Amino acid sequence: MTINQNELLSAFVDGELQGDEFEQALQIVTTNEQARTQLQRYQLASDVLQGHTLGNQYVDLTSQISAALVDEPVFTQASTTNKKSQVIPFPKQFWKQATGLAVAASVGALAVMGVMTQPQNQLIPVTPVAAIDTPVVTVAQAGNRWTVGEPEVEHRLDTYLLDHNEYAGASGVF
C-alpha cells in the first residue's frame, strides 16, 4: 500500500471523505486484503482514542511480532578494538584531600570570624569634670522584710516569702 492509500484510509476512518475519494476508499478496501487489515487497525485506534471500546479486548501480538522478527536481518557486531581515551584520572586520595582542605578552610574562616568579633580595647578620651559637693543621700536597703502595722498580715507575708524562696531555689529559675 502506498502512503496516499494509508492517508485515504485514515481520512475514511475519521469521516472526512466525500464524493470520489469516498468511492476510491471503498474500492481499495473491497479489493485489497492488506487495506482491510489496515482499516481495522485504524478503526480500532480511533475507537480507543475516542473511548468507544467495549472492555478489555485481548489481542495476540506475539505471533505477529515473531513473524516480523523472522523477516528482520540478523545484526552482528563486528569486533572493533576499543580505543582508550586520554583521560587523566583523579588521584586515589582526591576526596580525602578535598575533605581535609574543606575542613582546614572552615577552621580558618571560624578563627578569622572569632578574631573579628572580639571587642577592641579603645581608649575613650577622658575629660576632666569639676567636683561638685552633693549632699549624701541614704537609701534604705531592700530586704526580705517589710513594715506592716498588723502582725497577722506580716505573718502571712513571711509565710508567702518562705514558700517563694523554697520553690524558687528548687527550680533554679531565680
User: Mean pLDDT, 10 residues at a time, over the chain (174 residues)?
Assistant: 82 88 89 90 87 70 85 75 71 82 93 81 66 68 66 87 79 55
C-alpha cell at 126: 577622658
pLDDT confidence of residue 126: 66
Cell (9 digits) for 109: 574562616
What local confidence, expressed as pLDDT, does residue 87 receive?
72
Check residue 68 and give its pLDDT.
87
- Tell me the domain boundaries of the chain: 3-52
Residues 161 and 144: beta-carbon distance below 8 Å = yes
Write down the pLDDT at residue 167.
78
As given in the structure block, the three cell numbers for residue 48 are 480507543
What is the reported pLDDT for 105?
94
Q: Where are the alpha helices (DSSP H) in 32-124?
A: 33-50, 62-71, 94-116
Instruction: Determine the pLDDT at residue 143.
Output: 57
The number of angstroms, rounded, from the C-alpha of 100 to the middle of its chain's C-alpha atoms is 29
What is the predicted pLDDT for the residue at 121? 66
How far is residue 171 from each of residues 106, 159, 164, 167, 168, measured CA to CA in Å?
A: 40, 19, 11, 6, 5
Helix (H, G, I), strand (E, B) or coil at 94: helix
